[in-house]
Amino acid sequence: MQYKLPIFYDYVFPNYILPNAMITELGMVNYLHSLNSNKLQEHTFFDQSLNSGSDSNNVLTFMFGESLGTFPNVTGGCGTHLQSEMYQNIVQCQENSVFFGKRYKDKYIYPIRMSPHVDNFVGAGPYGSKINGEYFWKHMSAAALKDAQEGRALILLDLAQENFMELASYANLHFCLKKSGIPKEQIILAFNSFNAQEIYESWFPPEERRLEVKNWPFVLSNTSYYYEQATYSRLNIEQFKETKDTLRKNYFLFKIRRPRPHRQALLFKMCQDNLLEKADWSWLSNANYHEAEVNGIKNQYNVEADNEKIKNLFSQFPHSLQDEPGDTFDTVSSWTDKQFLSYKNSYFYVCTETYTHGDYKSITEKVCKPMVNFMPFLFLSFCGALKLLQSLGFKTFSPFIDESYDNEPNEAIRTKMIYKEIHKLCAMSKEEIHKWYWDMEDIFIHNHNHLINFYKTDEYTINLVEYLHKRINDDNT
């Protein structure tokens, strides 16, 4: 069944739609730029890359320095992730302006694509910044704000690509909404998690809640759809089987774009034990060696490593994969795979999630990359991540890999247990690990097929769409 959802915007121009709740001045700059640009709507002025090698420099910080902060809202891709191609059989988004659309539809969805920097989005930036106190609802049109206050506009805060939100950020969001006059049932926050709603409701009793939270594991479904379509970026079964009689060049593949502490802890230990010589690995960020930071990570994760070796490691950054020498921080993102040689040339994958602490249960594209390319993986994620994958129909690799780390609640100990398995596998001969790998052939094929078809049975999105459809069509809500 296909549900029809009216999606309304404040400002709709012939060749551009301004993102809802965007700071007006910034939105107008984007609009004016669009008049003289042949780029897609999602690649307007503020979305241009500076090729900086990090997230800390973008067009806004280039123009305003630190006085603005970072993006308070998305600047392109103005609608909602519900408009993704993979959902075309589930939902039909009927776009219109608030001014014209209200003539035909009493209730509507007002989508806001949030910045991943939630505190900036809600106006809780540092004092002295231009976004401090600039609550998102201040930048809604008067008509849309009144409709939300009176129950006609359902605000959809779309955070579909992010999988973590701190308690303090919720508190800031609550404070932002306190004087908005918007009833809590008129604001829906949906983001990439299997249990975000449960966590929010456990943190705040009903009388303290200022919005509704919905689970929406968008990234797993979007990655599934991407790999079904982008066949050039993944191995197929025939190509996989053709490698059976060839020893692979590397023992493992380890990718780092952003050097988060848990990733650095693993890399430092690999460097200390000379395991990087057996790996195809990357670190794409610009980085300088700071002894205090290195020591802090070593202490946090109980890593024994020589600082001189680590300092020498830093001199190699940024470091690209052997089979992707042209890739940089600015050319690699969630869905930009262009080839599969690095997977074809390694036996297992060391996968590290964005976050490895807290109670959120979420899956991103990172663990999908080895699954679609017929690889076993060690998964440094939240406690119970492998159990979640199994509940979704995927298979993991016990007893070929000791996966008891999945039950360990302590992040540092879990990291150490995973490293122990990496070290054990690297101690095998090439002939031994080759046999070890091919003994899991059936698991690889199952995961590959299950992944590229996963989006077709995404019950979470269906539940979200059904809920939104009911809210805007039920006069008794």
What values do phi and psi take at 276, rounded to 5?
Answer: -65, -20
Distance CA 61, CA 461 (A): 35
Q: How far is CA 78 from CA 59, 195, 328, 343, in A?
A: 18, 26, 27, 35
Q: What is the pLDDT of residue 265?
A: 97
Q: What is the pLDDT of residue 41?
A: 47
Q: What is the pLDDT of residue 462?
A: 94
| Long-range contact pairs involving 400-404 (C-beta distance under 8 Å, separation at least 24) | 400/376, 400/436, 400/439, 400/440, 401/376, 401/425
Q: What is the pLDDT of residue 77?
A: 59
Helix (H) or strand (E) holding 8: strand 3-9
CA 7 to chain centre: 24
Q: HSE on the CB side for 439, CA within 13 Å? A: 11
Burial tier of 400 (Cβ tally within 10 Å: 0-12, 13-18, 19+): middle
Distance CA 70, CA 66 (A): 8
What values do phi and psi take at 314, rounded to 5?
Answer: -60, -30
Location of structure tokens 């794409």: 284
Please report which residue ranges of 209-354 form alpha helices under DSSP H.
Answer: 218-229, 237-241, 261-272, 291-301, 307-314, 341-344
Contacts of 121 (CB under 8 A, 6+ apart): 72, 73, 114, 115, 136
Burial tier of 345 (Cβ tally within 10 Å: 0-12, 13-18, 19+): middle
Distance CA 51, CA 58 (A): 9
Given a contact cutoff of 8 angstroms between Cβ atoms, the answer to whether 75 and 49 are in contact is: no
Burial 75-103 (b: 16+ CB within 10 A, else e): bbbbbbbbbbebbeebbebebbbbeebbe
Q: What is the pLDDT of residue 44?
A: 61
Q: How far is CA 342 from CA 55, 321, 376, in A?
A: 25, 7, 14
Domains of the chain: 3-217+458-473 (no CATH), 232-454 (3.40.50)
Q: What is the pLDDT of residue 71?
A: 61
The reported pTM is: 0.91
Per-residue pLDDT tens listing for the chain (477 residues): 899 999 999 988 877 788 898 877 777 777 777 676 655 544 566 666 666 666 556 676 677 666 665 566 765 556 899 999 999 999 999 999 999 999 999 999 999 998 888 898 898 888 778 788 889 999 999 999 999 999 999 999 999 999 999 999 999 999 999 999 999 999 999 999 999 999 999 999 999 999 999 999 999 999 999 999 999 889 999 999 999 999 999 999 999 999 999 999 999 999 999 999 999 999 999 899 999 999 999 999 999 999 999 999 999 999 999 988 888 888 887 777 778 999 999 999 999 999 998 899 999 999 999 999 999 999 999 999 999 999 999 999 999 999 999 999 999 999 999 999 999 999 999 999 999 999 999 999 999 999 999 999 999 999 999 999 999 998 544
User: In this structure, which amino acid lies at residue 315?
Assistant: S
Instruction: Determine the 3-state secondary structure of 154 from DSSP.
Output: strand
Q: What is the pLDDT of residue 37?
A: 62
Please report which residue ranges of 36-134 form alpha helices under DSSP H.
Answer: 59-64, 98-101, 118-121
